[in-house]
Structure 1
Amino acid sequence: MSTILLYAMFVVYVIAGVGLVIYGFSCYYSIYLFLKNSRKTRLSDRKAILKYYREHSLADLPQVTTQLPVFNEANCVERLLEAVCAIDYPKDKHEIQVLDDSTDECYEVTKKKVAELAARGYDIKLIHRTNRKDFKAGALKEGMAVAKGEFLAIFDADFVPEKDFLLKTVPYLVMDPQVGLVQGRWGHLNRTESGLTLAQSIGIDGHFVIEQSARSWGKLFMNFNGTAGVWRKDAIYGGGGWEGDTLTEDMDLSYRSQLAGWKMKFVFDVIVPAELPNDINAFKAQQFRWAKGSIQTAIKILPKVLRSKVPLRVKIGAILHTTHYSIHPCMLFTALCAWPLLAFFEPVGHLPTWAYTVGFAFIFLAAIAPSVLYFVAQRCSGYTGWKIRLLSLPILMALGVGIAVSNSRAVFAAVLGTKGSFVRTPKSGGAKKKAKSHYAQKFPWMALIELLVGVYCIFGLLEYINASKYIIGPFLALYAIGFLSVSVLSFMHYISNIFEVRKAIKCSECVEEQATN
């Protein structure tokens, strides 16, 4: 193998390793900020809400518009509409906009349900677009132009807000005119449905319990998570409005609003349950969208952040936050480069023993950092049974590694400026039956690559064991398990989806035939 190629590979390997260490140690800083501010901030928030309702009545509450962006969510939309209409808020001050861009039977389901709820006295309207310009951002923008409320609550179709959501969030916007957004914490409707959903729930808890808390309470830039939040309309306009040039319009707007001087508030004790994807291919599609959109936002926003007058630590936090999905190319590169470097690369000179010891210590601490974050998140989440849930942490680790191929493709697509389209994440809505034929998945070609990379990592692992290089062995073992597991699961869920779709079509045809007869 060419010496130049090997040295280039070595440079990539080192850069990827350093990247993993940096992102790993950022977890410890998030944990520090969370533990430092948790008790004080949560207590202060509770006192503020109590004080507000001691001094104000329900009649003093402002007008709120709840926006529900929907696209082909026939399984979930009725559950969403019932939950939102059940929210405990003065009816005359709560407008509901259903922003349905659906291209399937969901539109008829939504139309019928909206008419039913309107007849029951709710101020609910259906806004249907056929061009889908700017996807979700375009729908929210069009709805905002005719919204009555000065505050806009947003929920995706797979969320089920509690009745007191608005009562627990809107007062923060009223009490502090500089707060542009109040973000709630995501909960989980189907956490225990499978190992996949359980692992996802732990990952999401890590983000909301620790990372969002740390950013909000540590006075760093945080992002709106696209749902389960309430915006001040002026903050949206102040940030330049909704824009559809990234797949994470929520993160994009959040940063632009904060650069304009608006504050973002995360409320730890307001939890909004949501449905987790129970199919690995749906989960990968969701992660692909988030990864690509985050990098698109980083490319668009970071130059403005770096030119701004915010403190240096805020700028560093913004860089790590918006580029977080870069850990996946870093993992993929270290996995691909390890075997050739062992077999063919002979570095010039040797480092002293202490350098290897220090280097290994840093790598080890960085490697376990996400697990430490998830442990603290579960311990402090307030949910019961957290010790049992931690038994699924290995599944989450394998899952995080296994999607590195797909997410690396998303990162490269964003860097190269590939546009692509918004791909929805199908949900069951808690129903036993699956969605109809147009929800059928495409063949998971990326799973073939994941399978090949997994096999490649096995050969690399055997080579390292044969060379008595045991330090990197566990990492290659995790890579092999992760890639192979995600690959096999992708094929299994794809095949299962085919059978479910065929069954749904057959049932539908039987119903139509009976109706005809």
Structure 2
Amino acid sequence: MLYTVAVAWLLLYSVQALFFSLVFWRRAQVQPAPAAPPSWPMVTVQLPIFNELHVGRRLLAAVAALNYPRQALHIQVLDDSTDETTVLLKAEVRRLQARGFQVTYLHRDDRRGYKAGALAAGLAQTGAHFVAIFDADFVPPPDFLKRALPHLLADPNAGFVQARWAHLNATYSGLTGAQALALDGHFVIEQTARQQLGAFISFNGTAGIWRRACIEAAGGWQADTLCEDLDLSYRAQLLGWRGIYRPEIGVPAELPPQLLAFKRQQFRWAKGSVQTLRKLWKRVAWGSRPSTPHGQPTRSPLRTRILGLLHLSGYAVHPLLVLVLLLSLPMLWLGPATQPSVGLFGWASLGPPLLFALAQRHLYADQPGGWLRRFAYFPGLMLLGIGLALNGTQAVIEGLIGRGGAFRRTPKFHVKQQADAWANSPYALGLDWTTAGEIVLALYALTAVVVAVWRHSLGAAPFLALYALAFGSTAAVGLWQAGRVHMRPRHPLVPPRLAR
């Protein structure tokens, strides 16, 4: 019964993926952009940074290149760094100030509140009514503000506008290709379908603009979850503010080339999402909110509430995957009466590949090589999705039992082409305990394969073999990359090409 419940729960997320794909296929269309205003308002661009030797200057250069009236553009460098990044950023700020830019450098002696704390501290130092946010690994295009801001100016009930994440290094490796495929599924299909359905959408922490009044009305940036962006976007929409997603505005970013860095990023997202679920599930489930930020209370449609709860609980997939594996072996051992239902598990795996394929077809149908070349990373994404289940399970458990926690940044290395190196960076990560756990789970899955064959449950063997391959390959890549880190000499703390 427990196995069936776990697989049925997984099937629910798969059905959601199928539903979003259908909505996108039938309804998706680019809405016309509002007209530009007669004059552009003051915008503060906040750049939260922590130890970013490799990409900090790239970010500042991109923001300085924004096509926006200089007198209406205010840049805040929110630097919590504890290494020589501070030296590089201060020098770059001085250069920009000498060129006539309004740039403020804010450095905190402690990281209280982490990113949420830095954003709140910066907001207190500006009077701008609109705030754009870019993480250090993003490179906003010059026309970003003029394309995104009119959506907020045209709708006084719009609290934030979120752009689509694009990729600087999707073809750098199989790992970055798989990540790009996953992110495209979220940004092209899921976010678009949510908006079409009138459901809650998420602010993804970067590549977006907030209305200051919305931030303040929703309670400001709060650090009791590791996903301060998801938390604030839900609190704002629960008050009746609208979130606007614009898929046609792409903002490229660097994908983590190191598996351990990607695991750290996914751990933070999983833990923070579960913390947000703990914090807001009652308000989302009840669904009472004003029809506008100043209107009378109404109740959200049941569909909106269900989609919101599924959204916030999405990382439950990880412990469910681990539970299905752990239960499979004893069920096979006990005999035919308790053998796992392969058919149900098979149905639970159909939704995501269709969603990812549709996203690639939408984005890359007209590019050389076509969308199938991008979708070819799907087998790697499938292995990665299962292989990270132990890492995600730990994050979900921690999110269920605790608030806040250390905000461990995702290292960035300024890699775009295959010739670019990252292993000799001081930010490259070492192994953690989950690699050993992945090896154990791979061996456990192999044992289950042997038992499945012995018990003549041949239908279950391929799924269990997929588990073994996923956990085994995840552990192998982690070990191989960690070996490269320990064998290569490290860069000096300030690389010469950045110190110049």
If the length of structure 2 is used for normalisation, what is the TM-score?
0.92
Q: 1:127 aligns with which of 76, 98, 106?
A: 106
Deviations 1:441-492 (A, max 9, x none): 2432210110110111011112212322122222212111110010011111
Q: Which residue identity is paired with 2:175? A: L
Corresponding residue for 1:23?
13
SS of residue matched to 2:377: helix
1:182 pairs with 2:182: no
Aligned-pair CA distance for 1:430 = 3.1
1:485 pairs with 2:470: no
Aligned-pair CA distance for 1:433 = 5.4
Deviations 1:203-244 (A, max 9, x none): 000000001111112100011000000000111111111000
- Looking at structure 1, the residues matched to 93 and 279 of structure 2 have their Cα atoms a distance apart, in angstroms, of 38
Corresponding residue for 1:66?
45
Task: Judging by fraction of residues, say which structure has more helix.
Answer: 1
- Looking at structure 2, the residues matched to 77 and 414 of structure 1 have their Cα atoms a distance apart, in angstroms, of 30
- Looking at structure 1, the residues matched to 172 and 220 of structure 2 have their Cα atoms a distance apart, in angstroms, of 38
- Looking at structure 2, the residues matched to 295 and 16 of structure 1 have their Cα atoms a distance apart, in angstroms, of 18
Task: Note the 1:79-98 alignment, pairs <5 A.
Answer: 79-98=58-77
- Looking at structure 2, the residues matched to 494 and 360 of structure 1 have their Cα atoms a distance apart, in angstroms, of 36
1:100 pairs with 2:82: no
- Looking at structure 2, the residues matched to 232 and 393 of structure 1 have their Cα atoms a distance apart, in angstroms, of 37
Aligned-pair CA distance for 1:508 = 7.6
- Asked if 2 retains the 8 angstrom alpha-carbon contact of 1:75 and 1:427, the reply is yes
Q: Which residue identity is paired with 1:401? A: I
- Looking at structure 2, the residues matched to 337 and 481 of structure 1 have their Cα atoms a distance apart, in angstroms, of 18
Corresponding residue for 2:4?
14
Determine which structure has more spread, i.e. the larger CA radius of gyration. 1
Corresponding residue for 1:3?
none
Corresponding residue for 1:504?
491
Corresponding residue for 2:291?
none
SS of residue matched to 2:170: coil
- Looking at structure 2, the residues matched to 436 and 393 of structure 1 have their Cα atoms a distance apart, in angstroms, of 29
Corresponding residue for 1:379?
361
Q: Which residue identity is paired with 1:127? A: L
Bigger Cα displacement from structure 2, 307-316 vs 321-330: 307-316
Aligned-pair CA distance for 1:136 = 0.2
- Looking at structure 1, the residues matched to 325 and 248 of structure 2 have their Cα atoms a distance apart, in angstroms, of 40
Aligned-pair CA distance for 1:149 = 1.7
1:364 pairs with 2:346: yes
Deviations 1:250-305 (A, max 9, x none): 00000000011100010010000000000000000000000000000000011111
Deviations 1:144-174 (A, max 9, x none): 1122321110000000000000011000000
Corresponding residue for 1:166?
145
Q: 1:412 aligns with which of 386, 397, 412?
A: 397
Could you say if the C-alpha distance between residues 72 and 469 of structure 1 is closer, same or farther in structure 2, counting changes exceeding 3 Å? same
Q: 1:334 aligns with which of 324, 341, 345?
A: 324
- Looking at structure 2, the residues matched to 140 and 506 of structure 1 have their Cα atoms a distance apart, in angstroms, of 26
Q: Which runs of 5+ in 2 are unaligned?
A: 289-298
1:262 pairs with 2:241: yes
Deviations 1:361-417 (A, max 9, x none): 554332121111100111112462311111111000000000000000100111121
Could you say if the C-alpha distance between residues 142 and 422 of structure 1 is closer, same or farther in structure 2, counting changes exceeding 3 Å? same
Q: 1:403 aligns with which of 388, 391, 394?
A: 388
Corresponding residue for 2:271?
292
- Asked if 2 retains the 8 angstrom alpha-carbon contact of 1:453 and 1:483, the reply is yes
Q: Which residue identity is paired with 2:359? A: A
Could you say if the C-alpha distance between residues 347 and 430 of structure 1 is closer, same or farther in structure 2, counting changes exceeding 3 Å? closer
Q: 1:137 aligns with which of 116, 126, 143?
A: 116
Deviations 1:283-342 (A, max 9, x none): 000000000000000000111112222111111001100000000101011111101111
Number of positions where the alignment pairs a residue of Structure 1 with one of Structure 2 = 480
Could you say if the C-alpha distance between residues 507 and 81 of structure 1 is closer, same or farther in structure 2, counting changes exceeding 3 Å? closer
Task: Note the 1:47-62 alignment, pairs <5 A.
Answer: 48-49=33-34, 52-53=35-36, 56-57=37-38, 60-62=39-41
Q: 1:209 aligns with which of 167, 185, 188?
A: 188
Corresponding residue for 2:255?
276
SS of residue matched to 1:439: coil
1:495 pairs with 2:483: yes
- Asked if 2 retains the 8 angstrom alpha-carbon contact of 1:197 and 1:277, the reply is yes
Q: Which residue identity is paired with 2:349? A: A
- Looking at structure 1, the residues matched to 49 and 308 of structure 2 have their Cα atoms a distance apart, in angstroms, of 30
Corresponding residue for 2:293?
none
Q: Which residue identity is paired with 1:17? A: V
Could you say if the C-alpha distance between residues 276 and 442 of structure 1 is closer, same or farther in structure 2, counting changes exceeding 3 Å? same
Aligned-pair CA distance for 1:435 = 8.0
- Asked if 1 retains the 8 angstrom alpha-carbon contact of 2:260 and 2:431, the reply is no
- Asked if 1 retains the 8 angstrom alpha-carbon contact of 2:137 and 2:253, the reply is yes
Corresponding residue for 1:314?
304
- Asked if 2 retains the 8 angstrom alpha-carbon contact of 1:435 and 1:504, the reply is no
Q: Which residue identity is paired with 2:302? A: L
Could you say if the C-alpha distance between residues 404 and 120 of structure 1 is closer, same or farther in structure 2, counting changes exceeding 3 Å? same
1:448 pairs with 2:406: no
Aligned-pair CA distance for 1:13 = 1.6
- Looking at structure 1, the residues matched to 494 and 156 of structure 2 have their Cα atoms a distance apart, in angstroms, of 54
Q: 2:455 aligns with which of 460, 467, 473?
A: 467
Q: Which residue identity is paired with 1:372? A: L
- Looking at structure 1, the residues matched to 238 and 403 of structure 2 have their Cα atoms a distance apart, in angstroms, of 27
- Looking at structure 1, the residues matched to 63 and 356 of structure 2 have their Cα atoms a distance apart, in angstroms, of 31
Q: Which runs of 5+ in 1 are unaligned?
A: 1-10, 351-355, 513-517
Corresponding residue for 1:302?
281
